[in-house]
Chain A
Amino acid sequence: MKAMDASQTVLKAEARGLNFFYGQAQALHGITLPIYDRCVTALIGPSGCGKTTYLRCLNRMHDLYPGNRYEGEVTLYPDRVNIVGPEVDPIEVRMRIGMVFQKPNPFPKSIYENVAYGLRIRDVSNRSELDAVVERALREAALWGEVKDRLQASALNLSGGQQQRLCIARALATSPELLLFDEPTSALDPTATSRIEELVTELKQKVAIVIVTHNMQQAARVSDYTAFMYEGRVVEYDRTETIFTNPTVKLTEEYITGRFG
């Protein structure tokens, strides 16, 4: 487990009493959860416990579909804006908070255009600026060496693991303050998975990360803090080593020892 000094524990975001509703059905009940800057926070729990639902609250993905509703608040630091507040534009939230999805979802465009897209929608069209950002993002996503000679090739010709790293590069290109990972390795083989895990560990030097995972070993390997969720509630939240070695709640212990879920 990684040791942390006190200077690392700066709040990046904090949910307080967050309720979320899909139409009439309440999916999240009073989520209260801090997210520290330059740390990896893992969300674990059985299927349907609300971890992905919570993650998608953080970049207002639920706003894309009708009938969804937030209550409570999620404060983004340092400017203390409530990112689930109705007065806050979801586009502004998504411009500050990046997301990597469960299934690699590159655009059916060139590798270059995939990474550059976030800048294009921000009206950056200067070629040298785009080139520089594409290279930086691909390097940060540990993909540059593999694709630097074929930036104009279709992203769909890459392997699954490469596609997922491309999606990470795409999210990194716009320098997000917080990066959300929704089970990023569930569609990948073990080799590709370990590369993504290494990447997550490296990226936390620069950005706060929240990762949803089904794989408890993964949570133990990459995260600094872990929240165990069950039926739309946070059952227990603590330093990862504490959660995995000495959980306070019986349910947490039962889950991490594989007795259910």
Chain B
Amino acid sequence: MTPIQHKIARRKALDRFFAFEGLMVMTAALLVLLVLVGQLMFDGLSRLSWQFLTSFPSRFPAQAGIVSAWVGTILVMLVTAMAAIPLGVGAAIYLEEYAPKNWATELIEINIANLAGVPSIVYGLMALGLLVYQFRLGQSFLTAGLTLGMLILPMVIIATREAIRAVPPYVREAAYALGATKWQTVRDHVVPYSMGGMLTGMILALSRAVGETAPLITVGALSFIAFLPHPPWQDNFPYVSFQWLFDPFTVMPIQMFNWVSRPQEEFHVNAAAAGLILLTMTVVMNAVAIVIRARFRKRIHW
């Protein structure tokens, strides 16, 4: 071997070593995840049944179910989305397109980034003081949804700003050059072209909120609810009802937490089964995010 070939061989060996190392690290990470999911399935799969999905909690593990928990999770997520998305998107559009670049804007931006890192229990304490005691919203779906909404608001703002920033400046300039106002440019171009990124960010933020437990315990989630909230409709005008907003709530992770902390082994099986359902919910949400991103990417390529 000539000296040059020798050097190439050594560098290629390093190449192969790194590829191997990368593969190992990735496998290790995936294995841990696989073991966790496998354990959950091993424990809980046998308990999954129609009865489990449609029954209320019970003192008897075999009769207990998660209907109030999954209905609760969906309703809380609905309130969370209604609260966080309009506020977050509005704030992001303002910060990216309208806000003057000065120290006040900078201060707000730094604080939003910091808020995204605040422990969720702190949001719980704040919500307890503000929403439950001050505004007297009760230990209700409304309180729970607003609490999680505040929790994910910074994430929605950050994701939306990233999506808006991905719209190249020359597209904005094209609109302005035709005489468009700022609002016309935002409405007709910036928002539609960044919709894919925005929706992805929102769904990912919501899928984080789905698993939140601590702040909801703080604001007073019940772990034993043997009835469904009021239906969102009524028989007479105006036919929609918001009574359910003020009903007591529970959500999936709280139901799980409650079951895990009981001494009976059978309740632990219930918790694992509920965990599988919760996992499925997050996987579905993430899958929807991926599909949305792919669809918008296909339509718009810069």
Residues of chain A at the chain B interface (Cβ within 8 Å)? 59, 61, 64, 66, 91-92, 94-95, 98-99, 101, 103, 105-108, 117-118, 120-122, 154, 156, 167, 170-171, 174
Contact B179 A118 (CB under 8 A): yes
Contact B300 A98 (CB under 8 A): no
Contact A103 B170 (CB under 8 A): yes
Q: List 23 A-B contacts (CB under 8 A).
A: A64-B172, A64-B173, A91-B181, A94-B177, A94-B178, A98-B177, A98-B178, A99-B177, A101-B173, A101-B174, A105-B168, A105-B174, A107-B189, A108-B300, A108-B302, A117-B178, A117-B188, A118-B178, A120-B188, A121-B178, A154-B299, A170-B174, A174-B179
Chain B residue at minimum C-beta to C-beta distance from A108? B300
- Taken together as a complex, chains A and B put the C-alpha atoms of A167 and B178 apart, in Å, by 11
Q: Report B-chain residues with C-beta under 8 Å of the C-beta of A170.
A: 174, 178
Residues of chain B at the chain A interface (Cβ within 8 Å)? 100-101, 168, 170-181, 184, 188-189, 193, 299-302
Q: Report B-chain residues with C-beta under 8 Å of the C-beta of A118.
A: 178-179
- Shortest CB distance A187–B (Å): 12
Contact A105 B171 (CB under 8 A): yes
Q: Report B-chain residues with C-beta under 8 Å of the C-beta of A91.
A: 179-181
B299 CB contact (under 8 Å) in A107, A108, A171 = A108
Contact A167 B174 (CB under 8 A): yes
Q: What 8 pairs across the A-B complex have the smallest Cβ distances? A: A95-B179, A99-B177, A118-B178, A108-B300, A94-B179, A105-B170, A105-B174, A121-B180
Q: Report A-chain residues with C-beta under 8 Å of the C-beta of B188.
A: 117, 120-121
- Taken together as a complex, chains A and B put the C-alpha atoms of A170 and B173 apart, in Å, by 13
- Taken together as a complex, chains A and B put the C-alpha atoms of A117 and B177 apart, in Å, by 11
- Taken together as a complex, chains A and B put the C-alpha atoms of A237 and B59 apart, in Å, by 93
Main secondary structure of the interface of B (DSSP, over half): helix
- Taken together as a complex, chains A and B put the C-alpha atoms of A101 and B173 apart, in Å, by 9
- Shortest CB distance B230–A (Å): 44
Contact B175 A117 (CB under 8 A): yes
- Taken together as a complex, chains A and B put the C-alpha atoms of A154 and B302 apart, in Å, by 12
Contact B184 A121 (CB under 8 A): yes
Q: Report B-chain residues with C-beta under 8 Å of the C-beta of A174.
A: 178-179
Known: A66-B100, A101-B170, A105-B170. A122 touches B179 (CB 8 A): yes
Known: A64-B173, A91-B180, A171-B177. 7 other contacts (CB 8 A): A61-B177, A95-B178, A98-B178, A107-B174, A107-B175, A117-B180, A174-B178
Known: A107-B189, A108-B300. A61 touches B176 (CB 8 A): yes
Chain B residue at minimum C-beta to C-beta distance from A180? B177
Chain B residue at minimum C-beta to C-beta distance from A122? B179
- Taken together as a complex, chains A and B put the C-alpha atoms of A174 and B180 apart, in Å, by 12
- Taken together as a complex, chains A and B put the C-alpha atoms of A137 and B174 apart, in Å, by 17
Chain A residue at minimum C-beta to C-beta distance from B193? A108
- Taken together as a complex, chains A and B put the C-alpha atoms of A171 and B188 apart, in Å, by 17
- Taken together as a complex, chains A and B put the C-alpha atoms of A95 and B180 apart, in Å, by 8
Q: Report A-chain residues with C-beta under 8 Å of the C-beta of B181.
A: 91, 121
Chain A residue at minimum C-beta to C-beta distance from B181? A91
Known: A66-B100, A117-B188, A121-B184. A61 touches B178 (CB 8 A): no
Q: Report A-chain residues with C-beta under 8 Å of the C-beta of B189.
A: 107
- Taken together as a complex, chains A and B put the C-alpha atoms of A121 and B189 apart, in Å, by 12
Q: Report A-chain residues with C-beta under 8 Å of the C-beta of B172.
A: 64
- Taken together as a complex, chains A and B put the C-alpha atoms of A96 and B106 apart, in Å, by 36
Q: Report B-chain residues with C-beta under 8 Å of the C-beta of A92.
A: 179
Contact B179 A121 (CB under 8 A): yes
- Shortest CB distance B148–A (Å): 34
Q: Report B-chain residues with C-beta under 8 Å of the C-beta of A94.
A: 176-179
- Taken together as a complex, chains A and B put the C-alpha atoms of A59 and B176 apart, in Å, by 10
Q: Report A-chain residues with C-beta under 8 Å of the C-beta of B174.
A: 101, 105-107, 167, 170
- Taken together as a complex, chains A and B put the C-alpha atoms of A156 and B178 apart, in Å, by 19
Contact A64 B176 (CB under 8 A): yes
Q: Report A-chain residues with C-beta under 8 Å of the C-beta of B173.
A: 61, 64, 101, 105
Interface centre among B174, B176, B178, B188 (most CB of A within 10 A): B178
Contact A107 B177 (CB under 8 A): no
- Taken together as a complex, chains A and B put the C-alpha atoms of A122 and B181 apart, in Å, by 10
Chain A residue at minimum C-beta to C-beta distance from B179? A95
Chain A residue at minimum C-beta to C-beta distance from B167? A108
- Taken together as a complex, chains A and B put the C-alpha atoms of A91 and B193 apart, in Å, by 23
- Shortest CB distance B1–A (Å): 47
- Shortest CB distance B94–A (Å): 16
- Taken together as a complex, chains A and B put the C-alpha atoms of A105 and B173 apart, in Å, by 9
- Shortest CB distance A103–B (Å): 6
Q: Report B-chain residues with C-beta under 8 Å of the C-beta of A99.
A: 177
Q: Report B-chain residues with C-beta under 8 Å of the C-beta of A122.
A: 179
